[in-house]
Structure 1
Amino acid sequence: MHWLYWILALIVSFAAAYWVYRADVKRAVPYPWLTAGLRGLIIFLTALLLLAPAITVHRYETQKPVVVILQDESSSIARELHRDSSTFRKNVNELIDKLSDNYKVIHQGFGSEIQTDSLYTYQQRETDIAGALQKVEEAMGSQNLGAVILASDGRYNQGANPLLQQFAFKVPVYTAGIGDTATQKDLRIANTYANKTVAARSRFEIKADVLAKVCNGYSNSIQLLENGSVVANTPISISGDRFDKSVSFSISTDKPGLHHYIVNAPVAEGEENTANNRRDVFVEVVEDKKQILLAAAAPHPDVNAIQEALKGMDAYQLTVKIGDAVPASFSAYQVVILHQLPSTFQNLSSQDMRKPAWYILGTQTNPPTLNRVQQAAGITYGNLIARNVFPLYNTSFSGFTLPQGLQSVLDKMPPLSVTAANVQAAASTTALFNQKDNPQQPLWFFQQGNAPTAMLLGEGLWRWRMYEYKNFGKHDVVDECIRQTIAFLAANTNDKPFRAVLPKYVWSDQEAITIGAYLLNANNEQINTPEAKISITDSANRKRDFSFERSGNSYRINTGIWPGGTYNYTATTSYNGKTLTSTGSFTVALVPLEMMETGADYNLLYGLAHKYNGSFVPAANIVSLYDTIANNKNIKPIIQTNTETAPLVDWKWFFFVILLLAVAEWLLRKYWMAQ
């Protein structure tokens, strides 16, 4: 219908112009066609305003390609650059100047977080290369990203392996290697392993991985110390430039309580980096063995796998019950492992489940009953058809320490058989493994509490043990996952009605320390009605007091970041006229992550450049990347079309055009009539 209005406006305008023309001819106006034309145009433009059409305008904007320069700002770069830092800065600035003519350059630093100002300071204490690339991917969005330049030593100590991540941007990644790949002399304690809980007067092991580079001829003893005294040592002799060995200390103690041990490697002659020569280990010694029940709905090879993993754990007394032999009450046990229980044929009362439990789900699991007896997750089953699910390690998991080489073992693992269709995990849970095909869904996860919970969504632990032995000749990683799960659950089993609990005993000086507390009433129900407080004292007897915050039916406090040292804590509350206390200690380790490894890793930088169709250059040649980028025909500007639609009445200048035409006609008539 709009075109009819336009035709009508044209007809009216033409008719008015014709009428004016005839009138002006009779009045002998000198140029009647001019006044008639002005009058017709005025009427037509006025009609346009009355019709108020929407005018569409196309604007074209050229977007330069964006080049993001990610510069490693971690403290290890200062060591790697040494006297060349000013030269590196000059080269980067020269590259930016060259690129700025034809490209939009975004220059950012990274370590544990993105840094946009105060670059070239090299003060960040962690390096997360994958996280930095992920931030670029998120920030660029629909922008014309042309290339990413990564200047780093290739060492990362936070986040995932960037080579294993798949970033969505389809642009080349150019890498510039900082530092020297020459191997430096370094002796370090890479990892330590110990059971969290052991029985008094029983022997237990503390293991450590010792790594050495260019320490040929070193001969000394790796020491295990407690309170400054050597309680055990293991001699090592190094022949060759590379050394990798696991050492073990077998000790016992008759003193219950929390014991703090230090694994120490004496400094090698000429070793500059000594920050990684020691590790702290905490072990809780209990008077009695913890009673563990392994209950299964039916015979299953997973049951045998768990039994094998827990062999030699003197702090635990394991009892296995299958099918009809599963007891009606679990009151005699401190921890229960439930394989495909509760099932359709074997129900569990909620009273039984007020204790630490590890649920391993399968096709016989009864989801409604399971959801009723625990609060860690809501489980939904679909059509009972099992899916093959591969594990994805959660690199931010800090509940306990797992063996070195975990990722390489996981890469060889077969999938678990998972029947659960959907999992709604509680916010208080943390995942050790997520589901690889759906990382938002957990696979093996934990919930803290006075009665903590662990949950594994699938069957197949026995396959994991078999494949680890097939590929690596041992069961260490899978067995350690099982043992640490039991240690996590057993750590909180006690007869005290009030207890403060830390998720771990050794913290980094970069971590905020969070402490939980749990109070039980006479019915063994968790409550947080009374106020609870905690005092933390350092080695100089300086004390800081905190009040717990209520969280659900428990207590929780984030005490912030603490400097390195050993701290003792006392948590208190008053209930039923009694003052209840819980004491313990923890250590904040000065963990210079940037000092844990020395030298540059150019292999990772080569790998990233190859994976994303870029190229690698030494940092000294970083300016040459300008020519590489300029010659890449795929990095080019794009023309963006912006379409805007606005009513004609919004164009103020249009009124002035009509006014100008009307004034022009009036002046012409005034002038001609005066003659």
Structure 2
Amino acid sequence: MIQLQTVLLILLAAIVALALVLFQYYYKSKRKGKLQVILSFLRFSAIFGTILLFINPKFTKNEYSLEKPNLVLLADNSSSMTSEDKTQVISDLSSLKNNVGSLSENFNILNYRFGADLSNSDSLSLTEKSTNISKALASLNEIFTGTNTAVVLFSDGNQTIGEDYEFYGKRQKFPIYPVVLGDTTKYEDIAISQINANRYAFLKNKFPLEVFISYDGKEKVSSELQVFMDDKLVYKEKVSFSNVSNTKIVSTQIEANSVGMKNIKVAVTPLPNEKNKVNNEKLLALEVLDEKTNVAIISTVQHPDIGALKKAIESNEQRLVSIYRPDTDLSKLQEVDVYILYQPDASFDKVYKQIQLRNSNSFTVLGTYTDLNFVNKIQNNFLIETGYPVQELFASQNATFSKFDISDFSLEGFPPLVSDAGPVNILGRGEPLLKVRIKGVDMDQPLLTTAEEDTAKHAILVGENIWKWRVQNYRNDQTFKSFDAFLGKLILYLSTSKGKNRFVLDYSSIYNNSSETKIKANYFDEAFAFDSNASINIKVENKSTNTSLEVPMLLKDGYYEADLSNLPPGKYDFVATVTKENLSRSGSYSILDFDAEKQFSSSNYSKLNRLANNTAGKLYFPDQMDSLVMALETDSKFVPVQKSKQIVVPLIDFKFLLGFIIAALSLEWFIRKYNGLT
């Protein structure tokens, strides 16, 4: 629509242009004829076009559209749904989509389904192994943000992963109308809801097991909790429940007697009339490791330091300390992980040679009985300055030490160590833990330091009487714990001397179900840069059926991955190989036969009802679909809205009009010059 003001301006522009032309070409002019008319028309066109550029006339156009609210039909696609539920959902979806009334006229009807994630589809397979209702609702919030939307949720209300959807509903932006599926009858049910256990245990140690048991019923009942390890009963306990006391936590410790992967079954005996017995037991697996660290203290002198070292190191049951003289038969030292060389002298020659031959780890303690010249000659990790008198050396912590955390151990007020050794120079890669403090002055020389040589690790302590530190720790804290933990960290650092590995696997020894089974790998070139062009294959063999599968590992974002989610439950061995090099890694894992979706005997309609109330919706049952349709049709929140959009369109094209003006003026000038006019 062109405004009246614009029309008047255009008319005024034409009058002004005509007046100027009449004045220029006809006022007091004696020329007549066709040429005068052409020139005056060209001048009129140029002046009129120029004025139009300033006026820039426009007209407006209104476009109208009808915006319908969205009706999202969200269906549960998890395996907890039965074939009867599937038939019911298909019937209800068809009824809502093909509704001939105002429902289909007033709503944009969209179909989604969900399990662990949301997907845009109306076909149901009921194969999803997990249910995450809160994630599905959160995804819909992102998709339909800023729109008028209602959600009809078809589900049994049983969620296995993710945030509790009942509480998420308080943040939900759209009203939810749950349609309850499944069996709504409440049955007496006793279930193992959760088990807490470590993934690993150490041989001859006890590992903790925490079992959460729940009861759904009104009567007082009793049952028995049983724990089986590799089908052998290792623990049992009577448990009782009532309508008031309907949960119980049982904590126990199970002893690991043998090395290897252990299958553990935790079960509660079913109630006499219990319908769902699937949730009465849970399976898990853990790996028992023989991680005993053998430490040898080798010395020619008797000193209280030796007893203090042995007690501190053996405070961790996974470490065994043996004391030897340097002339001991070397065959007894073949299984040693860490050698502690206490005040070595020339008699340690064979021991040092064995350490070098085995590329073993060592911890050297210097003192007043040490032959420093021999130590300098026999090894290439440290160079100790000699010729110093016996002196007291206090310790100060190196705040920048990065190999492991030493911040929990304070040396404030600790007595000094005694030594006649001078400053220690590290010949390889090393880092001091403690530095020397003499007469209150911090010296830039190590008191306790580490050094690394290829894959071997070494440490040296410049002083004896460390037993006084352990006593001082007890005096301060009434426990040896802090000192023992500090020394334990040092021994752990020395006993784990694995060098850089160009081919590294990341996997779990236990997978709860097949969908979680993925093995990752990192492969580096000789410069230890990630190689994204490698070809890696993995061969997996089922121990029970002796069947094998070989698949390539695919490149992901900075790693390689093999997706083995199609494998059935069982025990598997695997070998991953880099095809262009002679590099391979092997391992084993177990897939447990666990389906969280089978843990429920009836639908959780009470939680769905609270979700509906929290979102200003309402709960319905499958036989109430007509009531749901009527509620949606009559709700004033879901009325289609007519929206208008005003479009402003310019009447002229700026570039075209400017070109026309230039053309008119140019043609006028040319005609005037051609005819000899000024």
Under a length normalisation based on structure 2, what TM-score does the superposition of the two structures give?
A: 0.53
CA distance in 2, matches of 1:121, 1:551: 29
**SS in structure 1 opposite 2:106?**
coil
Gaps of 5+ in 2: 1-5, 24-43, 295-314, 321-360, 364-395, 409-491, 655-678
**Among 79, 100, 103, the residue aligned to 2:104:** 100
CA distance in 2, matches of 1:565, 1:609: 38
**Among 109, 128, 131, the residue aligned to 1:127:** 131
**SS in structure 1 opposite 2:185?**
coil
Q: 1:648 to 1:49 in 2, by over 3 A?
A: farther
Which of 181-190 and 10-19 deviates more? 10-19
Question: What residue in structure 1 maps to residue 207 of structure 2?
Answer: 204
Matched to 1:648, the amino acid is: L
Give yes or no for contact 2:522–2:530 (8 Å, CA) kept in 1: no
Deviation of 1:267 (Å)? 5.5
**SS in structure 1 opposite 2:520?**
strand
**Among 531, 542, 551, the residue aligned to 2:547:** 542
Residue 513, structure 1, aligned to residue 518, structure 2: yes
Question: What residue in structure 2 maps to residue 147 of structure 1?
Answer: 150
Gaps of 5+ in 1: 20-39, 292-311, 318-329, 333-343, 361-489, 652-675
Question: What residue in structure 1 maps to residue 646 of structure 2?
Answer: 643
Matched to 1:153, the amino acid is: D
Q: How does 1:1-16 map to 2 (within 5 A)?
A: 6=10, 9-11=13-15
Matched to 2:191, the amino acid is: R
**SS in structure 2 opposite 1:165?**
helix
CA shift digits 1:505-535 (9 cap, x unpaired): 22422235133468999xxx97767986543
Question: What residue in structure 1 maps to residue 175 of structure 2?
Answer: 172
Deviation of 1:234 (Å)? 1.0
Q: 1:49 to 1:81 in 2, by over 3 A?
A: same
Question: What residue in structure 2 maps to residue 594 of structure 1?
Answer: 597
Residue 230, structure 1, aligned to residue 232, structure 2: yes
Deviation of 1:8 (Å)? 5.3
CA distance in 2, matches of 1:65, 1:578: 62
**Among 43, 51, 66, the residue aligned to 2:70:** 66
CA distance in 1, matches of 2:61, 2:538: 67
Deviation of 1:222 (Å)? 4.0
CA shift digits 1:342-382 (9 cap, x unpaired): xx9953344x15xxx7999xxxxxxxxxxxxxxxxxxxxxx
Question: What residue in structure 1 maps to residue 506 of structure 2?
Answer: 501
Question: Quick one: percent identity of the two aligned structures?
Answer: 20
Under a length normalisation based on structure 1, what TM-score does the superposition of the two structures give?
A: 0.53
Q: 1:181 to 1:8 in 2, by over 3 A?
A: same
Q: 1:175 to 1:546 in 2, by over 3 A?
A: closer
Question: What residue in structure 2 maps to residue 347 of structure 1?
Answer: 399
CA distance in 1, matches of 2:268, 2:615: 41
Which of 258-267 and 85-94 deviates more? 85-94
CA distance in 1, matches of 2:82, 2:653: 59
Give yes or no for contact 1:532–1:571 (8 Å, CA) kept in 2: no
Paired residue total: 448
Q: 1:91 to 1:558 in 2, by over 3 A?
A: same
**SS in structure 2 opposite 1:594?**
helix
Residue 280, structure 1, aligned to residue 278, structure 2: no
CA distance in 2, matches of 1:606, 1:359: 52
Question: What residue in structure 1 maps to residue 82 of structure 2?
Answer: 78
Give yes or no for contact 1:80–1:178 (8 Å, CA) kept in 2: no
Which of 176-185 and 510-519 deviates more? 510-519
Q: 1:633 to 1:505 in 2, by over 3 A?
A: same
CA distance in 2, matches of 1:506, 1:316: 30
CA distance in 1, matches of 2:406, 2:218: 45
Give yes or no for contact 1:128–1:157 (8 Å, CA) kept in 2: yes
CA distance in 2, matches of 1:556, 1:206: 34
Q: 1:526 to 1:267 in 2, by over 3 A?
A: farther
CA distance in 1, matches of 2:261, 2:497: 17
Q: 1:78 to 1:520 in 2, by over 3 A?
A: same
Matched to 1:609, the amino acid is: A
Q: How does 1:93-492 map to 2 (within 5 A)?
A: 97-119=101-123, 122-143=126-147, 145-165=148-168, 170-213=173-216, 221-227=224-230, 229-236=231-238, 240=242, 243-248=246-251, 250-265=253-268, 271-288=274-291, 347-350=399-402, 352-353=403-404
Give yes or no for contact 1:69–1:108 (8 Å, CA) kept in 2: yes
Give yes or no for contact 2:60–2:648 (8 Å, CA) kept in 1: yes
CA distance in 1, matches of 2:640, 2:407: 56
Q: 1:56 to 1:289 in 2, by over 3 A?
A: farther
Give yes or no for contact 2:522–2:560 (8 Å, CA) kept in 1: yes
Deviation of 1:272 (Å)? 4.7
Give yes or no for contact 1:517–1:555 (8 Å, CA) kept in 2: yes
Q: 1:527 to 1:315 in 2, by over 3 A?
A: farther
Matched to 1:236, the amino acid is: K
Which structure is larger by alpha-carbon Rg, 1 or 2? 2
Give yes or no for contact 2:219–2:242 (8 Å, CA) kept in 1: yes
Give yes or no for contact 2:89–2:154 (8 Å, CA) kept in 1: no
CA distance in 2, matches of 1:174, 1:280: 36
Give yes or no for contact 1:217–1:237 (8 Å, CA) kept in 2: no
Give yes or no for contact 1:234–1:249 (8 Å, CA) kept in 2: no
